[in-house]
Amino acid sequence: MSEADWSSADARGIRTRRLDVGAKSTLRGKRQRRADALNPEACAFWPEDWRGLTREWLARGEAPQWRTLLGIAGPGRAAMAPELLDALLDGGWITLDEKREDGRWAPIRATFREFERLRERLGLPNRQQLAEQRQALLEAHFDDVALEAAMQGLAAMSAALAIRRHALLEALASWIADQRSGTRRDFALHASGNTKGIADADWNWLASSLTLADYGIEAHTPLLLIRAPLGITAVPDLVGLSPATIAAGIGLQGSVLRWRLVENRTSFERAARRYGHEDGVIWLPGYPPEWWKQSVAQLLSRYPAPAWIACDPDPAGIEIALAAGALWQTAALAWQPWRMEAAALDQLRSRKPLTDDDRSRLLRLLSTPLHAGLRALAETMLERGEKGEQEGLGDL
């Protein structure tokens, strides 16, 4: 059928055509109707109960039968349904199939003409755009093998769900790049800006797809790993103290000559056993999470002493050292980098090339006030195009 089969518009702007397929004897009393033009603004002025019912109708697909739509409306909205159908017709949103029945025209099927556009007008996502967005996301790749494998599983999910979970993988990639660690709530805050911003279903998916502990995300109470010349005489080695224990006051006796903060876990354990009989040695878990900063600030208030801070000789390491050192600045105490001089790069057996992001970070850091040693390290990394890891330095 062509446009010529449609009648001219009536007073409501509705065109009509008789269906002309098959034997004419079976076609009497069947027709289609549609508006002459789409009025996309009309639904903006509908009452909320109309908008809500339309959203329910849209969930049944692009060409639902009228009896299906009536069933969705139910007895409580049966009177509203024909009015809403007329409003959809007048607005140009549907083509309406009707048949002659007992001397009147009765609806058979409503076919939505601008399905995704109507969804958007009613506050629903445009699924075509979501599908295109998902496809674009899946064409990018993660450096981490496990993240890449988890991303491949998104192809089987709905577009909206895949996009939401891809955002979590991107947040995890930045968490890894920033060398962060903490609880699930810390990661949720990092990913969504809200400590409870990740739904249980998404946590379950993350936990089933990845070993979260490998990325420094713990479900349980975090512990401040420390060794210090304080009065826990029954513990000769390093210990873990929860934030609540520190906040409550643990009654430690003694004093600390200096605090040593060490980022790499292996290097921390070595340093704790080497220096912990006279200095306080604390594990610095990457970018310091809030619980860590609060715990260390409470320790500083009771045992003030300057800090030596040892992090990876890389751009993130400089940022981490600055973030930790800010606690000492706030307490009006001195701090300095430790084994983060430019010469540290020469002492490494192996080094890695800088990425474009590394270079951007270094340029940003060099535009700010820096400790002389950190500035020299940043300049040397830029000049050589290399960075390293603290573990390669051996014993601190």
pLDDT at 354: 94
Taking only Cα atoms into account, the Rg of the chain, rounded to an integer number of angstroms, comes to 33
What's the token pair of residue 313? 């000789």
With CA atoms as reference, report the closest residue to 175 among 315, 266, 289. Answer: 289
With CA atoms as reference, report the closest residue to 111 among 131, 88, 94, 93. Answer: 94
Please, what is the angle between helix 200-209 and helix 145-152, to 10°? 120
Place of tokens 């320790």: 299
pLDDT tens string 368-396: 999 999 999 999 999 999 999 888 777 77
pLDDT at 181: 81
pLDDT at 249: 64
For the chain, which ranges sit under pLDDT 70? 1-4, 20-28, 220-221, 230-238, 248-253
| Cα-based distances in Å from 324 to 42, 188, 260, 330, 396 | 57, 21, 11, 11, 18
DSSP letter assigned to residue 92: T
pTM, two decimal places:
0.54
pLDDT at 224: 80
Task: Classify the C-alpha dihedral 113-118-124-125 as positive or negative.
Answer: positive
* Contact between 315 and 381 (Cβ < 8 Å): yes
pLDDT tens string 271-300: 999 998 889 999 998 888 888 898 899 889
pLDDT at 43: 86
The three-class DSSP label of residue 260 is strand
β-bridge mates for residue 260, sequence order: 281, 308
pLDDT at 26: 47
pLDDT at 73: 94
The mean pLDDT value of the chain amounts to 87
pLDDT tens string 227-246: 777 665 445 556 777 777 77
pLDDT at 250: 60
The three-class DSSP label of residue 72 is helix
Place of tokens 């990394």: 381
Which domains are assigned to the chain?
A: 3-121 (no CATH), 127-218 (no CATH), 224-393 (3.40.1360.10)
In single-letter form, the type of residue at position 293 comes to: K
* Contact between 300 and 256 (Cβ < 8 Å): no
β-bridge mates for residue 183, sequence order: 218
* Contact between 316 and 348 (Cβ < 8 Å): no
